[in-house]
Amino acid sequence: MSDNQLRPRTPVAPAPAPAPRRSAPGPRAVAAFRAAAPALAVYAAVRALGLLTLWAAAEVVGKDPWARLTGRWDSVWYQRIAENGYGYTTTLPDGSLHSDLAFFPLLPALERGILEVTPLTLGGAGLLVAWTSGLLAAWGVFAVGTQLRGRRTGVVLAALWGVYPTAFVQSMAYTETLFTALAAWALYAVLRGRWIVAGALCVLAGLTRPSAAALVAALAITAAVTLVRDHRAGGGLRTVLRRRARMLTGVALAPLGWLAYVVFVALREGSPFAYFDVQAQWGNNIDGGRALASFIAGLPWPAALGLCGALGLLGWLVVLCVRQRQPLPLLVYTIAIVVISLIGAGYFGSRPRLMMPAFPLLLPPAAALARLRTTGRHPAAARAVPAVVLTVLACASAGYGAWTLLGAGPP
């Protein structure tokens, strides 16, 4: 008998099963982009129409359209912060003080970063941020609409957001597109159960605009309702908290950006309420709607009646959102944005702009227009209706935007 036959044999371990193949992030991102491409194309088209209309109108009246987009109103304050940091204060003829501490830091930080690595001016950097954020916002709006009502509704929703009456601000070096992009993707993350991603996006939104408080409230209230529901379903408190650890982490993250800036202003000015004092100096304090009521009362009756009609339409859209049972985070966010925009004492003309990030308000009309494509006794005519409506709205929005930007008052 040979040595090999006498030597004990070592059992051979079975080969490990191959790990399941996961789709790479790259292909998923490409597929998501392809799905959103129609929405992005329509959004880009309506915003391009707005810019072309502005350029043509500015040529007629002999004004510089570039300066209207980058060199007036809030954009100047952001560029000054990007160039010199915080510390600028101006005194108005009535003696009130306007401090640049009223403006949150994310946009000027991005403008400064782009200035350092590109040949763009600060104005060009602001437009790059705004226009890129506009596309990301349209993508996020499309994603939310698609998640809730299907791809057609998502496309129409993104288009309607692009033809909002004050959508011309989306082409300016302002924070509206940046904030809406962060808010839309944060809400989408909540709808998909990705709470930590949502919380991180809320942090950035809180460094962009004070209205991030509405987004924080959306996450917090949704989480509270979820915890109560789980507990009533029979889960023990510790079990529920352990199961919802990621949700609680996202909620804990959400207010940190907003709080960080409020604390920064407090430390800089030596007062715990310094940020709110700065906003009050700008006339942005909360007065419960008295300024709005006084403004309406001071208008000629036809204008007052028209404004009341617009507010009625706004209220009707909110009611539709509730009746159509939009998910709780969207409802809380939308209602909070609307309320914040209406109960402040600030300049009335800015209120439609402040409500622009409340894109879920447009979901009921977007769903109605999308349904027209497949219903009705005349399908071909029904399919043409959304395109006709969006074209008319895009032209009206472009004309109104050019008229406003070439005027004297701020948006």
146 touches 153 (CB < 8 A): yes
| Residue showing tokens 């010199």 | 84
Whether pLDDT at 130 is above 50: yes
Direct distance between the N- and C-terminal alpha carbons of the chain, in angstroms, rounded to an integer = 99
Whether pLDDT at 122 is above 50: yes
Label residue 164 by pLDDT band (50, 70, 90).
very high
Instruction: Say which DSSP state 356 is in.
Output: T
Whether pLDDT at 404 is above 60: yes
Average pLDDT over residues 89-95: 84
182 touches 189 (CB < 8 A): no
Label residue 408 by pLDDT band (50, 70, 90).
confident
Label residue 13 by pLDDT band (50, 70, 90).
very low
Domain segments of the chain as ranges: 46-405
Burial (CB count within 10 angstroms: exposed 0-12, middle 13-18, buried 19+), residue 163: buried
CA gap 350, 165 in Å, rounded:
12
CA gap 144, 142 in Å, rounded:
6
- Token digits for 303? 């204008």
Whether pLDDT at 339 is above 60: yes
Whether pLDDT at 329 is above 80: yes
Instruction: Tell me the pLDDT of the chain averaged across its residues.
Output: 89
pLDDT greater at residue 159 or residue 73: 159
User: pLDDT at position 378, please?
Assistant: 62
Per-residue pLDDT tens over the stretch 232-245: 887 777 888 888 99
Whether pLDDT at 9 is above 50: no
User: pLDDT at position 17, please?
Assistant: 41
Label residue 246 by pLDDT band (50, 70, 90).
very high
Label residue 7 by pLDDT band (50, 70, 90).
very low
Instruction: Say which DSSP state 168 is in.
Output: G
40 touches 141 (CB < 8 A): no
Per-residue pLDDT tens over the stretch 15-66: 444 444 444 556 887 888 899 999 999 999 999 999 999 999 999 999 999 9
Average pLDDT over residues 103-109: 97
Burial (CB count within 10 angstroms: exposed 0-12, middle 13-18, buried 19+), residue 82: buried
User: pLDDT at position 157, please?
Assistant: 97
User: pLDDT at position 379, please?
Assistant: 61
